[in-house]
Chains A and B, each alone.
Chain A
Amino acid sequence: MAKKLRTRKHKVVLNRSAGGDAGITIVLALLGAFMFLPMIYVVMQSLKPLDELWMFPPRFFVRNPTFKNYRDLFMLMNTSWVPFSRYIFNTVFTSVVGTVGNLFFSSLAAYAMAKIKFPGGQLMFRTVRTSLMFHSTVTAVTSFIIMSALNWIDTYWAIIVPAWATSLGLYLMKQFMETNVSDAVLESARLDGASELRTFWVIAMPMVKPAWLTLIIYSFQDLWNKGSSIYIHSEQLKSFNYAIGQIMAGGIKRAGAHAASMVIMMLVPILVFVISQSNIIETMGSSGMKD
């Protein structure tokens, strides 16, 4: 029952002047260059041989592209004290477990808030919505105290459990369910004797696939991009992103390997977005705040 977004081919456009079109194209091109060129530069840097990285005057484009930087990167990985596979495991493990939990708990709560009228539901949702208004640094210090009280410092739990209940995840899911899951269908399922949990899982969830994907991607990106955390001290529990950062710390000889590592790090979220773009945009269609 998901409402499809109109993808309009505006050919019959009203009130459009050629001058305006030209102006808009120019502004868009300039902004596009501002956004795009640094990304290209990362890729260029990662393909440059040593003498091109350190040449004067520097060139934007690479002349003799080589994959040597990537080979160097993997060699550096092999020489690290903690095996690199361990860092990769840490990031993949926390990303996957955190994302799956977030999808499950947030959808479950979103469904109850969107589709069951119970005392306190609105209040809970408003509280979550309010929390979108402040950045998590505000709570960093006191969260640390809570983590120590739970004895979760230096464990995966400190990373994973808070990721199970993200405000944005619940917010987007609830808004999307409200507009895209019809009450009539739920009502008839309930009349047929389906339990609330079954209605949620069998009827509602299949209708909100775009919102799932969006939630998965947001959650995954967040966890994937996590660098060093104040909760983690042990080298063996640190993230891939942190380890990559250490390569940079190795000084100027590693500039090429560092560029290669940035390309690898950015490739994953970008690929994920390319695959899921239309679903995310569809989810955002119901992201609005009414009051």
Chain B
Amino acid sequence: MSKKKAVIRSDMSRAQWTWNEMKKHKVAYAMVAPYMLIFTLFTVVPVLLSMVISLTNFNLLEVPDFVFLDNYIRLFLDDDIFIIACKNTLIFAIIVGPVSYLMSLMVAWFINELPPKIRAVVTLIFYAPSISGQVYLIWGTLFSGDSYGWVNGILLDLGIITSEIQFFQDAKYVMPLCIVVALWTSLGTSFLSFIAGLQGIDRSMYEAGAVDGVRNRWQELWFITLPSMKPQLMFGAVMAITSAFGFGGVVTALCGFPSVDYAAHTIMHHLDDYGGMRFEVGYSSSIAVVLFAIMIGANMLVKKVLSKVGQ
């Protein structure tokens, strides 16, 4: 009895303490208020709202009814194109995510020992494609389907092919090409983060490692460098995964919408199709929820894998 009372009392005093702290730091709430208000309105609420709407048949015109899991059942059992989109999205993300991540890490590591001025130039060369907006459209010119496209022209001239290849209209080439272009634009924030992480490693760690028997640069990388920059590896992974799922715009710009035979149709395109064009808001919300779950799931998985680095 007396024990119970004590628990209740400590609970109350804790609430009281929190309340006092809140009152004491009123100004902190005022400082975060504008940001949190906008963030909540345009990021948190949309996610929660789409979870709710995905359970309805909302279409912007009629009063929505709750249909519970009908949208999800239709999605997985009755929508062949969605299954294609899932497959493409996963192929895309599984290739682009890890490859761009490793490429960022590798290049950052390679250039780490260059003199600062040269390193700055090389950094620019690798980083520039990711910030140059729509310059990736040049790949459309390089691989254009007529003989004036650079690749076709060279191949024709060398006699390797006899007629032009319609690169962006041929289901065989669409996906690999989009992956190449996505990789080209993918050395972004994670790349810069890795460069900074490598720069921040204490030099004496390497000397200590050499004394302790680290014999070559690969051992040094695995036992000293990577464990020392784990926080950056984690941040870089989050950035890489998020963008690996976000290349729909590149595909649409290069291959048109829908891409030939849905060869490069991703979940993002499916979402766009139902949400932006057909206004089936309920159904498209369920697509958004699935995409959301996949992205968060991928992040969790990678977090687990990365915690093994250096062990």
| Cβ of A192 to closest chain B Cβ, rounded Å | 16
- Measured CB to CB, the nearest residue on chain B to A277 is B120
Contacts of B113 in A (CB 8 A): 10, 13
Which residue from B125, B131, B217 sits with its C-beta under 8 Å from A35? B125
A285 close to chain B: CB less than 8 A: yes
A93 close to chain B: CB less than 8 A: no
Question: In the complex the two chains form, what is the Cα distance from A14 to B219 in whole Å?
Answer: 12
A141 touches B275 (CB 8 A): yes
Question: In the complex the two chains form, what is the Cα distance from A135 to B239 in whole Å?
Answer: 10
B199 touches A5 (CB 8 A): yes
Contacts of A56 in B (CB 8 A): 147-148, 153, 156-157
Total A-B contacts with CB atoms under 8 angstroms apart: 318
A128 close to chain B: CB less than 8 A: yes
Cβ proximity bits A21-48 to B, threshold 8 Å, 1 near / 0 not: 0001001100110111011011001000
| Cβ of A167 to closest chain B Cβ, rounded Å | 7
A116 touches B25 (CB 8 A): yes
Interface residues of B in 16-62 (CB under 8 A from A): 18, 21-22, 25, 27-29, 31-32, 34-36, 38-39, 41-47, 49-50, 53, 60
B128 touches A270 (CB 8 A): yes
- Measured CB to CB, the nearest residue on chain B to A31 is B107
B295 touches A134 (CB 8 A): yes
Contacts of A146 in B (CB 8 A): 41-42, 45-46, 49
Which residue from B115, B284, B296 sits with its C-beta under 8 Å from A134? B296
Stretch at the interface among B2-10, B74-82, B169-177, B190-198: B190-198
A140 touches B32 (CB 8 A): no
Contacts of B207 in A (CB 8 A): 14
A269 touches B132 (CB 8 A): yes
A133 touches B296 (CB 8 A): yes
Contacts of B116 in A (CB 8 A): 7, 9
B167 close to chain A: CB less than 8 A: no
Please count how many residues in chain A sit with their CB below 8 Å of the partner chain's CB atoms. Answer: 106
Contacts of A232 in B (CB 8 A): none
B135 touches A266 (CB 8 A): yes
| Cβ of B75 to closest chain A Cβ, rounded Å | 15
B220 touches A133 (CB 8 A): no
| Cβ of A108 to closest chain B Cβ, rounded Å | 5
A260 close to chain B: CB less than 8 A: no
| Cβ of B224 to closest chain A Cβ, rounded Å | 10
Interface of A is mostly: helix
Interface residues of A in 124-162 (CB under 8 A from B): 124, 127-128, 130-146, 161-162
Question: In the complex the two chains form, what is the Cα distance from A45 to B135 in whole Å?
Answer: 12
B132 touches A39 (CB 8 A): yes
Contacts of B148 in A (CB 8 A): 53-56, 58
B189 touches A20 (CB 8 A): no
Contacts of B71 in A (CB 8 A): none
Cβ proximity bits B95-138 to A, threshold 8 Å, 1 near / 0 not: 00000000100110011010110001011111111011111011
- Measured CB to CB, the nearest residue on chain A to B123 is A277
Cβ proximity bits B226-237 to A, threshold 8 Å, 1 near / 0 not: 000111101100
B192 touches A284 (CB 8 A): yes
A180 close to chain B: CB less than 8 A: no
Q: Interface size class for chain B?
A: 35 or more
B248 close to chain A: CB less than 8 A: yes
Which residue from A106, A142, A284 sits with its C-beta under 8 Å from B35? A106
Cβ proximity bits A209-240 to B, threshold 8 Å, 1 near / 0 not: 00000000000010011010010000000000
Contacts of A165 in B (CB 8 A): 34-36, 38-39, 42-43
> Given that A116-B25, A139-B47, A146-B46 are contacting pairs, would A270 and B107 also be in contact in the complex, using a CB cutoff of 8 Å?
no
B21 touches A39 (CB 8 A): no
Q: Which of A57, A112, A134, A241 has the most CB of B within 10 A?
A: A134
Question: In the complex the two chains form, what is the Cα distance from A162 to B192 in whole Å?
Answer: 25
A266 touches B132 (CB 8 A): yes
Question: In the complex the two chains form, what is the Cα distance from A244 to B137 in whole Å?
Answer: 12
Interface residues of B in 149-184 (CB under 8 A from A): 149-150, 153-154, 156-157, 184
A162 touches B32 (CB 8 A): no
B139 close to chain A: CB less than 8 A: yes
Question: In the complex the two chains form, what is the Cα distance from A168 to B35 in whole Å?
Answer: 13
Question: In the complex the two chains form, what is the Cα distance from A36 to B135 in whole Å?
Answer: 12
A111 close to chain B: CB less than 8 A: yes
Q: A-side interface residues toward B, CB under 8 Å?
A: 5-10, 13-17, 20, 24, 27-28, 31-32, 34-36, 38-39, 41-42, 45, 53-58, 60, 105-106, 108-109, 111-113, 116-121, 124, 127-128, 130-146, 161-162, 164-165, 167-168, 170, 195-197, 200, 221, 224-225, 227, 230, 241, 244-245, 248, 255, 259, 262, 265-266, 269-270, 273-274, 277-278, 280-285, 287-290
- Can you list 7 residue pairs at the A/B interface with Cβ under 8 Å? A38-B138, A118-B25, A135-B243, A140-B288, A142-B46, A142-B49, A284-B196
Contacts beyond the supplied A241-B134, A287-B235: 11 A-B pairs with Cβ under 8 Å: A7-B116, A20-B216, A38-B129, A38-B135, A39-B128, A57-B153, A58-B153, A105-B38, A227-B134, A259-B141, A278-B120
- In the A-B complex, the 9 residue pairs with the closest CB atoms: A288-B231, A284-B196, A139-B46, A109-B35, A266-B132, A118-B25, A141-B275, A165-B38, A135-B246
